[in-house]
Structure 1
Amino acid sequence: MEHESRITLRLPADLHAWLATQAKSARRSLNSEIVYRLEVERDAAVADAESP
């Protein structure tokens, strides 16, 4: 990452718990899990936009 921005994110408790469980099973921090999932979705959206 060239530049990082700090944000405050409010999540429903059940979503937070699910993400924390997913992060633990992937051996990532909660922050890294959220970033990973956002990047995967961004890449998929870009690929969809580029396909004919």
Structure 2
Amino acid sequence: MIRFALRIPEDLHARLTAQATADRRSINSEILHLIEVALSTIEVDDESPGGDSSTPAPLRGKPDSSPA
């Protein structure tokens, strides 16, 4: 198992803590669960024929500021 540090805003930590408590999980287990659910949703979307053109790919890095 790989260990790494993750910095998150206090309000997100509070939401994660509340959700983990409601689901009777540790915060770590809750984060892993949420990541697994999110990734399985992406895999299902990728398998749909033709893809979903209504949802653009997420932006990575800084937006292009060059003139159009």
Q: Give the C-alpha shift of residue 8 in structure 1.
A: 0.2
Deviation at 1:51, TM superposition (A): 1.0
Greater fraction of residues in helix: 1
* 2:44 equivalent among 34, 42, 47: 47
The alignment yields a C-alpha RMSD, in angstroms, of: 0.4
Deviation at 1:16, TM superposition (A): 0.2
- Runs of 4+ that moved beyond 6 A: none
- TM superposition score normalised by structure 2: 0.70
Number of residues of Structure 1 aligned to a counterpart in Structure 2: 49
Q: Which residue of 1 aligns with 2:8?
A: 11
Letter in 2 for 1:46: E
The higher-RCO structure (CA 8 Å, 6+ apart) is 1
Residue segments in structure 2 that go unaligned for 5+ positions in a row = 50-68
Q: Select the structure of larger CA radius of gyration.
A: 2
